[in-house]
Amino acid sequence: MAERDIVAAILRLLKKTPFCFAWKTHGGMYGTAGIPDVIVCYRGRFVAFEVKTPSGKLTKLQENTMTRIQNAKGQAFKVTSAAEVAAILKQLEVDPDE
């Protein structure tokens, strides 16, 4: 499955998910290099997904960007399927501060 097909499956899942607002970021000359593919606000939390095929690797810039998001108390994940995103969202439903 191509990365664009994985992204499309993830966006279909997120559109059906309650308490979720998500969009696909687009590269190009007006985009910011290294920003994850899908940005999400889920139950008041900032979550970013960098989508790769199962054999895909993160670039150094993508790794650094994800670290910066995590250092800012956001969530950032490399994912390879909509099922993986669903599992992550399920974990995020539980507020660790409660």
Alpha-carbon torsion angle 30, 5, 3, 35, nearest 10: 30
Residue 93's pLDDT is 84
Identify the pLDDT of residue 97: 53
35-58 tens-digit pLDDT: 999 999 999 999 999 999 999 999
For residue 54 the two structure tokens come to 């199962």
Q: List the strands of the sheet with 75-79, edge to edge.
A: 20-24, 38-42, 45-51, 75-79
- Specify if 49 maps to a domain: yes
User: How does pLDDT run across 70-92, given as a tens digit for each residue?
Assistant: 999 999 999 999 999 999 999 99
- What would the pLDDT profile of 15-32 be if each residue is shown by its tens digit? 999 999 999 998 777 778
How many structural domains are present in the chain? Answer: 1
Could you list the residue range(s) of the whole structural domain that residue 77 is in?
A: 3-92
Tell me, yes or no, if the pTM score tops 0.85.
yes
Q: Indicate which CATH number applies to the domain containing 80.
A: 3.40.1350.10
Considering the domain boundaries, does residue 98 fall inside one?
A: no
Q: Is 97 a domain residue?
A: no
Residue 24 pairs in a beta bridge with 38
Q: Is residue 71 part of a domain?
A: yes
Above 80 in pLDDT, residue 98? no
